[in-house]
Amino acid sequence: MFTGIVTDIGEIVAVRARGEGLHRLKIACGYSRASIIEGASIACSGVCLTVVGIGEDEGRTWFAVDAAAETLRITTVGRWRHGTRINLERALKIGDELGGHIVAGHVDGLATLLARDDLADMARFKLSAPPDLARFIAPKGSVALDGISLTVNEVEDDTFSVLIIPHTLKVTTLGELAVGDEVNLEVDLMARYAARLLERP
């Protein structure tokens, strides 16, 4: 489990196909090598991936993860190339501060940035969600976009908006987004459970 609070920006330094529908990615990061163990879960732009290798090159830590066909199909992982920057978050530990909301790292689909308004003290993003996911998005509710916990501002049909504060623009990859870009979307777990309960006879 994660909180949607990004703790580092990683960089893809290698992508290698390992059989049909499986990619191994090598990701450079600012975490210390000693703090990462094989088998650990790290959210990579919102996608929970398992560490399968760790090392250090020229004083910089790297870790390797494998992404399977389903992950490549429904997330942005299949488009990552050498130099792609991604948001990183380590798995939640007992006693950690829950600063965002409960995020599973299981991406539901892709949201598309429709408009971006850069204001004096923040930015407003308007995004579209797949119709089957839009029903789980509500004003004042939570979503995770590329692994970042955000509060929904407005909702209309299958579009929604979020306000991004300068700090978030600075310490995540959201500041790099342009109209037309897609981001990994995870809807609120509680909204999913509530909808499921209402569907029961």
pLDDT tens over the chain, length 201 residues: 899 999 999 999 999 988 778 999 999 999 999 999 999 999 999 999 999 999 999 889 999 999 999 999 999 999 999 999 999 999 987 767 777 788 999 999 999 999 999 988 899 999 999 999 999 999 999 999 999 999 999 999 999 999 999 999 999 999 999 999 999 999 988 777 676 667 666
**58 lies in the same domain as 119:** no
How much is the pTM? Answer: 0.93
Q: What is the rounded (10 degree) CA torsion for 11, 12, 14, 15?
A: 170
Active-site annotation holds for 41 = yes
Query: Is 48 part of the annotated catalytic residue set?
Result: yes
Return the CATH number at 121: 2.40.30.20
Asked about 142 being catalytic, the answer comes back as: no
- If asked whether residues 70 and 17 sit together in one domain, one would say yes
Catalytic residue among 28, 44, 48, 129: 48
Nearest of 76, 69, 66 to residue 186 by alpha carbon: 76
Q: Work out how many domains the chain is built from and give that number.
A: 2
Identified catalytic residue from 7, 50, 112, 128: 50
Q: Which of 7, 40, 41, 191 is catalytic?
A: 41
Domain coverage including residue 116: 109-199
**Same domain, yes or no, for 126 and 181?**
yes
Last residue of a domain, one of 57, 90, 123: 90
Q: Is 2 a catalytic residue?
A: yes
Residue after which a domain boundary falls, among 42, 60, 90: 90
Measured from the Cβ of residue 115, the count of other Cβ atoms closer than 10 Å reads 11
Whether residues 123 and 73 fall in one domain: no
Let me know whether 86 and 132 are in one domain: no
Active site residue 44: no
User: Which is the catalytic residue, given 7, 106, 112, 138?
Assistant: 106
